[in-house]
Amino acid sequence: MTLDAIDKRIIDELQRDGRMSYADLAPLVGLSAAATRQRVQRLTDSGVLQIVAVTDPLALGYNAMAMFCITVEHDAQAVADAVGALPSVIYAVLSAGGYDVLAEVLCESNDEM
């Protein structure tokens, strides 16, 4: 899917306030509320945009967080998939930097880590 300037502006605005109404978003991107709704729906349906809740880990009882940087000799994707399947891993991604896989882990305590 090719994104145009309006799509990118919609994404930028929703990253600032994901609960913004179409009526409030429309004038910021130069479209009607109906056209804005259609654009957001298209971005969502195509997988470009997801609307999610962001939580405060401390408020949920998680007191330990760590980022793991992993170097892999073969099949970094398989390692990322396996690490990402672990229950305490928030996300695992492939990296083009000095490490092959980056993973963020969230636990209730350092002992659990």
Architecture of domain 5-45: Orthogonal Bundle (1.10)
Torsion angle in degrees (nearest 10) through CA of 77, 83, 85, 90: -110
pTM metric for this prediction: 0.61
Q: How many CB atoms lie within 10 A of CB 38?
A: 13
Return the domain boundaries, the chain. 5-45, 64-107
| pLDDT per residue rounded down to tens, the chain (113 residues) | 899 999 999 999 999 999 999 999 999 999 999 999 999 999 999 999 998 888 898 899 999 999 999 999 999 999 999 999 999 999 999 998 899 999 999 999 999 88
